[in-house]
Amino acid sequence: MLKTLELVRAYPIPLRDPRVSELITWYTGALQKAIDIIWSSVEWRYEFPRLSEKNGRLVAVIGSKLKVPIIPKDGGFRRMLRNELLKSCPYASHWVDSVIRTAYSIFESWRKRYLKGEG
């Protein structure tokens, strides 16, 4: 069977084009879905105060939080997340990869602020 090649060109489109708003709407929905999936898989670990010696005395080093969130980052979880998001993706798969990177960036930022007591 003979396949024909089709030349596809990238070209600028106006921002008011409905395709742009469709892409943005899909992206925000997929991002929310990714955040929901990651959030439901976050595990909480207790971190107890550590003892350290200061001026010959034992002092408890206490962080601002005793419960520490562990965000799943292993390859199996990421693969499951990517496959789940690809099911409803009408665009190229690199958009799903972008959604996943953005979701993890949001979570890492939140975790950092949370552990500092800001979130």
Query: What pLDDT digit, counting tens, does each position of 51-64 carry?
Result: 788 888 887 776 65
Average pLDDT, the chain: 88
Hey, how many other C-beta atoms are within 10 angstroms of the C-beta on 95?
17
Residue 8 has pLDDT above 70, yes or no: no
Residue 3 has pLDDT above 90, yes or no: no
- Residue with the bigger pLDDT between 16 and 41: it is 41
> Nearest 10 degrees: CA dihedral of 15, 16, 22, 26?
50
Residue 28's pLDDT is what? 97
Residue 38's pLDDT is what? 98
Residue 1 has pLDDT above 80, yes or no: no
Residue 65's pLDDT is what? 64
Q: Which amino acid is at 19?
A: R
Beta strand 57-61 with 50-54 is antiparallel
Polymer length in residues for the chain: 119
- Give domain limits for the chain: 18-116
User: What's the average model confidence in pLDDT over 97-106?
Assistant: 98
What are the tens digits of pLDDT across the range 30-80?
999 999 999 999 999 987 777 788 888 887 776 656 788 999 999 999 999
Q: Could you give the C-alpha distances from 35 to 25, 48, 59, 64, 66, in angstroms and in order?
A: 16, 28, 39, 25, 23
